[in-house]
């Protein structure tokens, strides 16, 4: 009797560009699937090949709109009902991660609710990159492989051969992440302190640490409207920084983000391809550099499938 389970990789519509790169890195073909869309907006994903007894990896980042999350959940459900041996959700960008606690009365903890949805459809495992808060892993009652984009960002930083580097956290919440970079690179840490007037609007900002004459690198998990990031960059330049660039894993880039970046003192914004860039025609993206997480995810997928340790895939 043959007990080896074949591996199959599928993609939902929102992350096909990344799934193709991951499949290429694994020297595999993407599995065949389709989505039927009904006139009222309802849609139904289907597998166009057998997944019986297979270990199925389904790739999809759950950035807005909510269809991206729901399509992934329907695909997992379809795979389980088609007798897949195991179904693993590969979610390079895990949406709703900012709702990891009750930060004011009468709000939902969206990240926990989304974790419950994955459990409800029978997901066996989740792979994701740079969660907004590490403790979100505890919202799941099955394994979560939490990958750090530092694996691709650190080699890039080293390739720049810059001197007098300082690592900066754009806010207190990002201090732990920035501190890990400063420890690995052996350089000083700057913490920017901001007061928010309301959601997505930053009030005043100041910096704690040595800024003057330094090449500052701001580290963040995501860049949304780029309000905090560009305000921090402009403030650091005013305080005498030699240059300011930023690294952010997830390029959410909503609202006026592209304009904010283009007009700011940032010399470069380095992001990964967990979310596709979606600039409007004619928007300036000359400062944005995209590094791919495809090889990183391909490596972890291969190790998980072959029951190998993945601890070596984590830089910190």
> Which residues form the catalytic set?
194
CA–CA separation, 107 and 209 (whole Å): 35
Show the tokens assigned to 70: 């729901």
* CA 220/CA 168 separation, integer angstroms: 9
Helix, strand, coil share (%) of the chain residues, nearest 5: 35, 25, 40
Dump pLDDT digits (tens) for 98-146.
999 999 999 999 999 999 999 999 999 999 999 999 999 999 999 999 9
For 118-153, b where at least 16 C-beta lie within 10 A, e where not — what string? Answer: beebebbbbbbbbbbbeebeebbeeebbebbbbbbb
Tokens found for residue 168: 């900066």
pLDDT category at 199 given cuts 50, 70, 90 is: low
CA pair distance 121, 123, nearest whole angstrom: 6
pLDDT tens-digit readout, 73-109: 999 999 999 999 999 999 999 999 999 999 999 999 9
* pLDDT beyond 50 at 1: no
What is the C-alpha separation between 289 and 250, in angstroms, rounded?
Answer: 12
Give residue 194's pLDDT. 74
Q: How far, CA to CA in Å, does 95 sit from each of 32, 50, 85, 187?
A: 25, 29, 26, 32
Q: What is the mean predicted confidence (pLDDT) over 140-167? A: 95
| Alpha-carbon gap, residue 263 to 43, rounded angstroms | 40
pLDDT (0 to 100) of residue 206:
87
String of DSSP letters for 70-124: HHHHHHHHHHHHTT-SEEEEEESS-TTTT-SS-SSTT---HHHHHHHHHHHTT--
Residue 195 pLDDT: 72
Res. 201: pLDDT tops 90: no
Q: What is the mean pLDDT of residues 21-42?
A: 98
Q: What average pLDDT score do residues 223-250 get?
A: 95
Which of these, 236, 235, 212, 223, lies nearest to 287 by C-alpha position? 223
Rounded to whole angstroms, the Cα distance separating 163 from 161 reads 7
> Is the per-residue pLDDT at 316 higher than 60?
no
């Amino acid at each position: 009797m043959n007990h080896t389970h074949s591996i199959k990789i599928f993609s939902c519509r929102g992350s096909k560009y990344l799934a193709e790169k991951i499949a290429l890195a694994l020297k595999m073909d993407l599995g065949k699937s389709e989505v039927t869309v009904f006139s009222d907006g309802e849609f139904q994903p289907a597998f166009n090949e057998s997944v019986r007894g297979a270990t199925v990896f389904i790739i999809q980042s759950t950035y807005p709109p909510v269809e991206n999350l729901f399509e992934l959940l329907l695909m997992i459900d379809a795979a389980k009902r088609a007798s897949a041996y195991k179904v693993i959700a590969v979610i390079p960008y895990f949406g709703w991660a900012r709702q990891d606690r009750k930060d004011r009365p009468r709000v939902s903890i969206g990240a926990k609710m989304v974790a419950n949805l994955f459990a409800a459809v029978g997901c066996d495992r989740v792979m994701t990159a740079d969660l907004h808060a590490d403790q979100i892993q505890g919202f799941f009652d099955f394994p979560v492989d939490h990958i750090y984009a530092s694996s691709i960002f650190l080699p890039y930083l080293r390739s720049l051969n810059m001197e007098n580097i300082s690592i900066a956290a754009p806010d207190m919440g990002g201090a732990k992440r920035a501190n890990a970079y400063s420890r690995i690179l052996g350089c000083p840490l700057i913490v920017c302190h901001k007061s928010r007037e309301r959601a997505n609007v930053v009030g005043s900002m100041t910096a704690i640490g040595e800024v003057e004459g330094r090449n500052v690198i701001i580290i963040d998990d995501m860049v949304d409207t780029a309000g905090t990031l560009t305000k921090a960059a402009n403030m650091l330049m005013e305080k005498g920084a030699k240059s300011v660039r930023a690294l952010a894993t997830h390029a959410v880039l909503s609202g006026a983000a592209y304009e904010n970046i283009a007009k700011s003192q940032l010399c470069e914004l380095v992001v990964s391809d967990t979310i596709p860039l979606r600039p409007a025609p004619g928007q300036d993206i000359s400062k944005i550099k995209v590094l791919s997480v495809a090889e990183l995810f391909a490596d972890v997928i291969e190790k998980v499938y072959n029951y190998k340790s993945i601890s070596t895939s984590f830089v910190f």
